[in-house]
A = this chain, B = another copy of it.
Amino acid sequence: MNAGFDPELHKVPAPPMRWDAWGDPELAAPLSEGTSTLIRGMLGVSGDVTLPTIDPATVAVSPSRLSADDLRGLRGIVGDDWVSAADADRLVRAGGKSTPDLLRRRQSNQDAPDAVVVPATDDEVAALLAWAAEQGVAVVPFGGGTSVVGGVDPEAGRFRAAVSVDLRRMNALIDLDEVSQIATLGAGLTGPDAEKLLGERGYSIGHFPQSFRYATIGGFAVTRSSGQASAGYGRFDDMVQALTLVTPKGVLEAGRSPKNAVGPDLRQLVMGSEGAFGIVTRVSVRVHRVPEATEYEAWRFDSFADAAAAFRGTAQEGVMPTVMRVSDEVETALNLARPTEIGEEAAEETPAPPGGCLAITTFEGSPAAVAARAGVVREIFAGAGGQSLGEAAAKTWEHGRFSGPYLRDALLDIGVGCETLETVTTWSNLDKLKTAVTAALTEALPEPTVVMCHISHTYATGASLYFTVVYRQDDTPLDQWLAAKKKVSQAIVDAGASITHHHAVGRDHQPWLADEIGTLGVDILTAVKSAVDPAGVCNPGKLV
């Protein structure tokens, strides 16, 4: 259950995550002594708690602007049990999990949606949208609440109120076509629930973003999520075969066949739409048999440039691992300096690489395919100066791969900011981009600021760069980060890269949307929105 709230206060089920921090309170650990010492030493902070979390009982939640008539209207659509205007229910859907979100959650006043509605069917979603358009009420879809770009912020925009539409009841494995290896899933299924339902039948999606434990199928689709196994199974937008989008103007069933030439690909218009065009209720995705074989191999490269060349060679050869990621020198050094993250096992079995960069590969599939792919990749990596470290470090990475975000909350307590951001560009522009982002962050934040980077999504023509920045917060930490974010976002755009590789646009990246897609691009998206949502009630303030 959601931490900090008396379950009695909830009228509808709460999201799986804490309202004011990442994840499950039972999985959150205090900073280890090692990490704490390291961070305190690096940044010169005392380790005392300077920015505590807040008791939700003391929070002033913005009052609901909906009338009794409004709530009656909503209950008429989804039933009495599935509408709530209780503070507890509204507060846990007040936003996502970016560092600005978590800083806002530590304030005593909280903006929250005016009600929470939990529909179960397409018809209910359609009726909700019709009601909202007629009543002039904004509709904000809510999946796992893991957005780090303000995508679920309860903005009413020009409307009189905003309701959060929680999709948790749309959580069925609707169909599994085992011949075609296509699963049709309710948009509200979380990653683990989807994998569990499919696993019982011997299948897996293979989509494991860091938000996997909480994020939902619909959220993956509308934000163009990309998971840690993207090298092998593709981004989520590569996996999607079909989607059902319920809009105020009707239902769009996009995707009738794997690939076709029937005009523009409307799936690709729904993906990335972030609720602005309506609500995705159902997604058909490519699945695969739970793999027979898995091989792990970690590698050391002398430099990030060497590793990037190896990754480029691999992608351009077209024979890929399932997971392929590499940390730069700083991230490698700091991860290895945290024994709780790399693990005892790794420390014992592999020689700690003296400097350099740690790369992880895994291979899943039939034994023959795994061996064949691993052989090709091994040859390319070795040819690019890679040194095999065996499997331990790769297994350790896999074991801890969803735990990173918990660290951030513990750091915030002691006045240390920790945020991630990500971008993508072509190979020929990668160095320039990494330098520009690092410079923008170190210039915008107090010295010493630690900037770590890794590549976790690799294409034949380029790669993503995922940055983690750790810095000393000042007295106005929200403003401090927003100013840094603005500078680094501009640096990304100025470097010719994309403002986001897999976190989406939401509210936070919207100021750079026109830089990226041009004013005509924005006009096109606006035209689409007007066609499907003429009243403009669908997630206002996000995307367009």
Taking the complex as formed, is A353 at the interface, i.e. its CB lies under 8 A from any CB of chain B? no
Taking the complex as formed, is A372 at the interface, i.e. its CB lies under 8 A from any CB of chain B? yes
Taking the complex as formed, is A318 at the interface, i.e. its CB lies under 8 A from any CB of chain B? yes
| Cβ B259 vs Cβ A459 within 8 A | yes
Collect the chain B residues with CB atoms within 8 Å of residue A516's CB: 256, 262
Taking the complex as formed, is A98 at the interface, i.e. its CB lies under 8 A from any CB of chain B? no
| Cβ A261 vs Cβ B460 within 8 A | no
Q: How far in angstroms is the closest Cβ of chain B from A507?
A: 13
Q: How far in angstroms is the closest Cβ of chain B from A383?
A: 10
A270 and B274 CA atoms in complex are apart in Å by 20
Taking the complex as formed, is A179 at the interface, i.e. its CB lies under 8 A from any CB of chain B? yes
Pick the residue among B253, B518, B532 that contacts A524 (CB under 8 A). B532
Q: How far in angstroms is the closest Cβ of chain B from A244?
A: 11
| Cβ B519 vs Cβ A527 within 8 A | no
A530 and B226 CA atoms in complex are apart in Å by 33
Collect the chain B residues with CB atoms within 8 Å of residue A429's CB: 180
Name the interface residues of A448-481: CB closer than 8 Å to any CB of B: 457, 459-463
Pick the residue among B254, B260, B457 that contacts A424 (CB under 8 A). B260
* Interface membership of chain A positions 175-210, coded 1 if the CB is closer than 8 angstroms to chain B and 0 otherwise: 001011110000000000000000000000000000
Name the interface residues of A498-534: CB closer than 8 Å to any CB of B: 498-505, 509, 513, 516-521, 523-528, 530-532
Instruction: Specify the main secondary structure of chain A where it touches its partner.
Output: mixed
| Cβ A368 vs Cβ B373 within 8 A | no
A425 and B271 CA atoms in complex are apart in Å by 21
Q: How far in angstroms is the closest Cβ of chain B from A211?
A: 13
Q: How far in angstroms is the closest Cβ of chain B from A209?
A: 11
| Cβ A518 vs Cβ B261 within 8 A | no
Taking the complex as formed, is A67 at the interface, i.e. its CB lies under 8 A from any CB of chain B? no
A250 and B533 CA atoms in complex are apart in Å by 25
| Cβ A271 vs Cβ B265 within 8 A | yes
Name the interface residues of A389-437: CB closer than 8 Å to any CB of B: 423-429
Pick the residue among B226, B249, B462 that contacts A261 (CB under 8 A). B226
Q: Given A181-B461, A369-B376, A524-B532, check contact A500 B264 (CB 8 Å).
A: no
Name the interface residues of A341-397: CB closer than 8 Å to any CB of B: 365-366, 368-369, 372-373, 375-376, 379
Taking the complex as formed, is A105 at the interface, i.e. its CB lies under 8 A from any CB of chain B? no
| Cβ A517 vs Cβ B254 within 8 A | yes
Taking the complex as formed, is A223 at the interface, i.e. its CB lies under 8 A from any CB of chain B? yes
Q: Given A257-B501, A501-B261, A528-B524, check contact A286 B379 (CB 8 Å).
A: no
| Cβ A180 vs Cβ B268 within 8 A | no
Taking the complex as formed, is A116 at the interface, i.e. its CB lies under 8 A from any CB of chain B? no
| Cβ A543 vs Cβ B263 within 8 A | yes
Collect the chain B residues with CB atoms within 8 Å of residue A266's CB: 517, 521, 524
| Cβ A519 vs Cβ B250 within 8 A | yes
A369 and B423 CA atoms in complex are apart in Å by 30
Residue in chain B with minimal CB distance to A316:
B181
Taking the complex as formed, is A40 at the interface, i.e. its CB lies under 8 A from any CB of chain B? no
Taking the complex as formed, is A1 at the interface, i.e. its CB lies under 8 A from any CB of chain B? no
Taking the complex as formed, is A334 at the interface, i.e. its CB lies under 8 A from any CB of chain B? no
Q: How far in angstroms is the closest Cβ of chain B from A256?
A: 5
A465 and B394 CA atoms in complex are apart in Å by 42
| Cβ A260 vs Cβ B498 within 8 A | yes
Collect the chain B residues with CB atoms within 8 Å of residue A268's CB: 264-265, 268-269
Name the interface residues of A325-341: CB closer than 8 Å to any CB of B: none
Chain B CB within 10 A, most for which of A223, A262, A312, A372: A262
Taking the complex as formed, is A251 at the interface, i.e. its CB lies under 8 A from any CB of chain B? yes
Chain B CB within 10 A, most for which of A263, A504, A523, A524: A263
Residue in chain B with minimal CB distance to A263:
B272
| Cβ A501 vs Cβ B425 within 8 A | no
Residue in chain B with minimal CB distance to A182:
B461
A279 and B319 CA atoms in complex are apart in Å by 35
Residue in chain B with minimal CB distance to A496:
B256
Collect the chain B residues with CB atoms within 8 Å of residue A274's CB: 263
Taking the complex as formed, is A10 at the interface, i.e. its CB lies under 8 A from any CB of chain B? no
A429 and B519 CA atoms in complex are apart in Å by 42
Collect the chain B residues with CB atoms within 8 Å of residue A241's CB: 426, 461
Q: How far in angstroms is the closest Cβ of chain B from A500?
A: 5
Taking the complex as formed, is A317 at the interface, i.e. its CB lies under 8 A from any CB of chain B? yes
Collect the chain B residues with CB atoms within 8 Å of residue A264's CB: 268-273, 525, 528
Collect the chain B residues with CB atoms within 8 Å of residue A182's CB: 426, 461
Taking the complex as formed, is A247 at the interface, i.e. its CB lies under 8 A from any CB of chain B? yes
Q: How far in angstroms is the closest Cβ of chain B from A206?
A: 11
Pick the residue among B258, B262, B517, B528 that contacts A262 (CB under 8 A). B517
| Cβ B527 vs Cβ A251 within 8 A | no
Pick the residue among B251, B253, B269, B427 that contacts A179 (CB under 8 A). B427
Residue in chain B with minimal CB distance to A375:
B372
12 A-B pairs within 8 Å (CB atoms) are namely A180-B426, A180-B428, A257-B426, A258-B459, A261-B504, A262-B513, A264-B269, A264-B528, A266-B521, A317-B365, A368-B375, A524-B528
Closest 3 pairs (CB-CB, A-B): A268-B268, A527-B531, A260-B498
